[in-house]
Amino acid sequence: MKLLFKNIKELIQVREKHVDFLSGKEMSILPTIKNAFLLVENGLISDFGNMKDCPKNDIKTIDATGKMILPSWCDSHTHLVFAGNREDEFVDRINGFSYEEIANNGGGILNSAKKLQLTSEEELYNQSKVRLEEIIQLGTGAVEIKSGYGLTKEAELKMLRVIKKLKESYPIEIKATFLGAHAVPAEYKNNKSGYLQMLIDDILPTIKKENLADFIDIFCETSYFSVEDAQQILEAGKKYGLTGKIHVNQFTAIGGIQIGVKNQALSVDHLEEMRTEDINVLKNTKTMPVALPACSFFLSIPYTPARKMIDAGLPLALATDYNPGSSPSGNMNFVVATACVKMKMTPEEAINAATINGAYAMNSQNKVGSITKGKLANLILTKEINSYNFIPYSFGNHKIEKVFLKGKEI
């Protein structure tokens, strides 16, 4: 099966040679080819270049005159498997209650866990697939999904099995993360170490046996889990072949980034509260910092200091954090726009952060994230636009005409 795109106004994020991720000044360069063609064969990118070299054979062709093509968004941080919603808490926050106060009153993560525990696996799948289909239409071609709204063995495994079924049923790239250490459930209120031990001794072996996760995560935050807890979880994950990814520095900076780097975490995510030492410890490491501007927007908390971090030479990825509490949106177009408007990232930096760096943050950089021969043809075809700056400029009104996964229009 071949598919040819011709007369592409601009082919964006073209990487002839493989790159793992981009850091510092590299992030300001977004290579493109104007007046381009792109050839897809058997779901993979097989060739691209200037129109003067376009193949002339009889191939199924899409004329992209006036339109642009870029690799699909890579959303490396979501919690899109959840039951019900928390719009009441949203209203409570409008009325002056803080995220912390709501959580302390039985809302927050524990509220979602209660709902999820009472939801069947089939119903959870049905609710979650709607969200997955929605983000595919919004241009996402690779997504990481976490557990963490189960908080019992049964419910955590239910979440991970739903993620596995989504992966088997949809052409989008999916990675799964075990986030049992998302909050301490009420039954373990005075026995956090007992809860961690249950996650490690009881759940991890089943995850391994059924191959239910790629990564392990923990919410390292005041009133949730400490740096010592994070060390314990990351170490246990390693024993079961799970690479670490941590929620850190969302509300307080307590040394979570240092623990992540020490344990070769693939990513450290949130980063709304960054001290100089937190930026410094990330330099020259393979740990990707991930910013979640939709969460900052929704909770009205600080934005990750992207300028400071990129100017210090760090890489940065952007993700949605799609979840019912702090970011009930999986729209990467909004994330890219918000990163430009609120974090002062340039369109080039934001697009790099949402494609190649996002792919790295879920260890999918060999398959997605750039226009490179041999990568999956997971693509966004834009509407007619003047320049790629239009993508973040037209916030809340995305410029996507069609999306393709493995070369097929969805």
Ligand X SMILES: N=CN[C@@H](CCC(=O)O)C(=O)O
DSSP 30: -
Q: What is the rounded CA–CA span in Å between residue 27 and residue 103?
A: 37
250 labelled ligand-binding:
yes
Distance CA 35, CA 58 (A): 20
CB of 396 to ligand X, least distance (A): 21
- The yes or no reply on residue 321 touching Zn ion (CB under 5 A) is yes
With CB atoms as reference, the residue minimizing the distance to ligand X is 325
Determine the size of the site formed for ligand X (CB under 6 A): 12
**37, interface contact from ligand X, Zn ion, none, CB < 5-8 Å by kind:** none
- How far is it, in rounded angstroms, from Cα 315 to Cα 375? 22
**Residue nearest Zn ion by beta-carbon distance:** 321
Among 72, 326, 352, 363, which residue interacts with ligand X (rule: CB under 6 A)? 326
Q: Tokens 């993560």: give the residue.
A: 109
Q: Which does 295 bind (CB under 5 to 8 A by kind): ligand X, Zn ion, none?
A: ligand X
Contact 368, 378 (CB under 8 A): yes
Span interacting with ligand X, options 25-33, 52-60, 168-176, 319-327, rule CB under 6 A: 319-327
Q: Is there a contact between 308 and 24 (Cβ–Cβ < 8 Å)?
A: no
53 is in an annotated binding site: no
Strand, coil or helix: what is 152? coil
231 assigned binding-site residue: no
Per DSSP, the three-state class of 137 is: helix
Q: How far is the CB of 63 from ligand X (least distance, A)?
A: 42
Sequence-distant (≥ 6) Cβ neighbours of residue 210 within 8 angstroms: 157, 160, 161, 164
Give yes or no for a contact between 324 and 82, defined as CB atoms under 8 angstroms apart: yes
Over the window 32 to 61, marking each residue x when it contacts ligand X by CB under 6 A and - when it does not, the resulting string is ------------------------------
Does the annotation list 270 as a binding residue? no
Site stretch for ligand X (CB under 6 A), options 107-115, 162-170, 206-214, 398-406 = 107-115
229 belongs to the binding site for ligand X (CB under 6 A)? no
3-state secondary structure of 300: coil
With the C-alpha atoms ordered 191, 196, 197, 198, is the resulting torsion angle positive or negative? positive
Rg (CA), the chain: 21
Cβ(166)–Cβ(142) below 8 Å: no
Shortest distance in whole angstroms from residue 301 CB to ligand X = 10
Phi, psi dihedrals of residue 167, rounded to the nearest 5°: -65, -40
- Max alpha carbon distance in the chain (Å)? 70
H-state helical runs in 6-143: 87-94, 99-104, 108-117, 121-137
Q: Which positions from 285 through 304 interact with ligand X, judged by CB under 6 A?
A: 295
The smaller minimum CB distance to Zn ion, of residues 321 and 348, is found at: 321
| Tokens representing residue 385 in the block | 């636009």
At 171, list the tokens: 């052409």
Is 326 one of the annotated binding-site residues?
Answer: yes
* Of the candidate residues 219, 225, 303, 388, the single one contacting ligand X (CB under 6 A): 219
Is residue 321 a known part of a binding site?
Answer: yes
Give the DSSP letter string of 357-391.
HHHHTTT-TTTSSSB-TTSB--EEEEEE-SSTTHH
Binding segment for ligand X among 12-20, 108-116, 135-143, 383-391 (CB under 6 A)? 108-116
**Is 245 a residue that touches ligand X (CB under 6 A)?**
no
Residue 217 sits in the site that holds ligand X (CB under 6 A):
no
Tell whether 15 is in a known binding site.
no
For residues 21 and 397, is the Cβ–Cβ distance under 8 A? no
Site string for ligand X, 142-171 (x = CB under 6 A): ------------------------------
> Of ligand X, Zn ion, none, which one does residue 293 interact with (CB within 5 to 8 Å by kind)?
none
The footprint of Zn ion on this chain (CB under 5 A) covers a number of residues equal to 1
Q: Do the annotations mark residue 323 as ligand-binding?
A: yes
272 near Zn ion, judged by CB under 5 A: no
Q: What are the φ and ψ backbone dihedral angles of 184, each rounded to 5 degrees?
A: -85, 120
Binding residue ranges for N-formimidoyl-L-glutamate: 149, 323, 325
Binding residue ranges for 4-imidazolone-5-propanoate: 86, 149, 182, 250, 326
Residue ranges binding ligand X (CB under 6 A): 108-109, 112, 219, 247, 250, 295, 321, 323-326
Binding residue ranges: 77, 79, 86, 149, 182, 247, 250, 321, 323, 325-326
